[in-house]
Homo-oligomer: A and B are copies of this chain.
Amino acid sequence: MTKPTIGIGLIGSGFMGRCHAHAFNAVSGLFDLPVNLSCEVLADASEEIASAGAEKLGFFRSTSDWRSMIEDPKVDIVAITAPNVLHEPMAMAAIAAGKTVYCEKPLSTTADSALKMTEAAEDADVVTLVGFNFLRNPMVKLARDIITSGEIGAVTGFRGRHAENYMCNPDTPHSFRTDTQGGGALADIGSHIVSMARYLLGPVTATSGVSQTIHTSRPKSLQNLERAPVLVDDMTHALLRFECGIVGSIEANWAATGRTMDLSFEVTGTKGAVAFSQERMNELQLITGTGPLSGFTRIEAGPQHPPYAQFCPAAGHHLGFNDLKVIEVAQLINAHLRVHSCDTDFREAYEVQKTIEAIQRSAAEACWTAV
């Protein structure tokens, strides 16, 4: 009995494109899927890039015309890793074609655009997934399960951060990251901690933020070293009020010297607390109870934390970043098959983006702002 086959079309063969391709190639060997996957078409900016990418990443065909790829009848799922500004037209075309859409974050350059995409997808009843890959970590899921189960009592506080150092150098040139359409530290990596906060605690209703541009000019490009002003934030701190009644704070910072991936949180409850940093992504810190033997327990990822066991039957064999994307793709396939829904569909990605924009407005106007 042969399994049915699902065809994949991928747009982009850069960092995230390779990451997607790796996941599509690896997922069948690791997860028990009821279908086979077939990497059909790779689309990229030119025929040459697309063709080289297809050979390297294991796709049958290549094209420089993403619209034709979307139309390809063998393509069931369209994966978008193109620049942010192209997400909307690509996703709208895929939705129009009735394809499942797997889009990298941020969903679009504005919340308005994201809402338009969301409504189109919902109207067409198309399955969507946005790549908030850090939520796929079994230890983050464990944190949410702990919170939801009441293990730490009623939640009383939240402190979150996403700090990296990749924009520390003032000579790192302008790019899509510093574009006023969807750029800046808050939009780029702050979206990870906002999505994490929502994943753990639910919606944010109001915010007071403050932003700072640390390096006020950057070279126009690697080729043109003339400096142009930076109009986006390098760092934002924000107070958050959650619908569940608590308050907390986050920081987004891409000029955080010394930090490589401090996507971290501490959730405090009346009976315990749970803490995590992506810098040690295979560990979760948990405290519950009191008494002379209590303290924060360092829980190490293991087969008792689904879906870790898909990767290895024994504890101590760490998951890595690329594995998170494999987990995400397994969720995508199951959502495509309507086995379950996706945590981070377009609707959720829109809510994240709306929260980000509220923080940006709050920082611009120096006042509390409703989301």
Residues of A within 8 A of B (CB): 3, 15, 18-19, 21-22, 25-26, 28-30, 32, 36, 55-58, 142, 146, 151-153, 156-157, 159, 161, 164-166, 168, 170, 208-212, 214, 234-235, 237-239, 241, 246-249, 251, 253, 255-261, 268-273, 278-282, 286-287, 291-300, 302, 304-305, 311-323, 366-368
Contact of B272 with A257 in the complex, beta carbons under 8 Å: yes
A249-B237, A305-B292 given; A18·B22 CB < 8 A: no
Contacts A28-B58, A312-B15, A318-B318: A142 and B258 contacting too (C-beta < 8 A)?
no
Closest residue of chain B to A2 (Cβ to Cβ) is B55
Q: Are B321 and A318 in contact (CB under 8 A)?
A: yes
Q: Which of B170, B212, B239, B313 touches A210 (beta carbons < 8 Å)?
A: B239
CB distance from A319 to the nearest CB of B (A): 4
**Residue from B142, B258, B322 in contact with A323 in the complex, judged by beta carbons closer than 8 Å:** B322
With the chains together, A112 CA to B216 CA distance in Å?
Answer: 40
Which partner residue on chain B sits nearest A25 by CB separation?
B25
Partner of A157, one of B15, B152, B256, B280: B256
Residues of B within 8 A of A253 (CB): 157, 268
**Chain B residues near A261 (CB, 8 Å)?**
315-317
Taken together as a complex, chains A and B put the C-alpha atoms of A164 and B313 apart, in Å, by 14
Could you jot down 29 A-B contacts, CB within 8 Å?
A: A18-B29, A29-B56, A36-B55, A142-B292, A146-B293, A153-B257, A156-B257, A157-B255, A164-B314, A208-B239, A235-B247, A237-B248, A249-B251, A253-B268, A255-B270, A257-B268, A257-B269, A258-B273, A258-B296, A278-B316, A292-B299, A292-B305, A293-B299, A295-B300, A296-B298, A311-B322, A312-B322, A317-B322, A367-B368
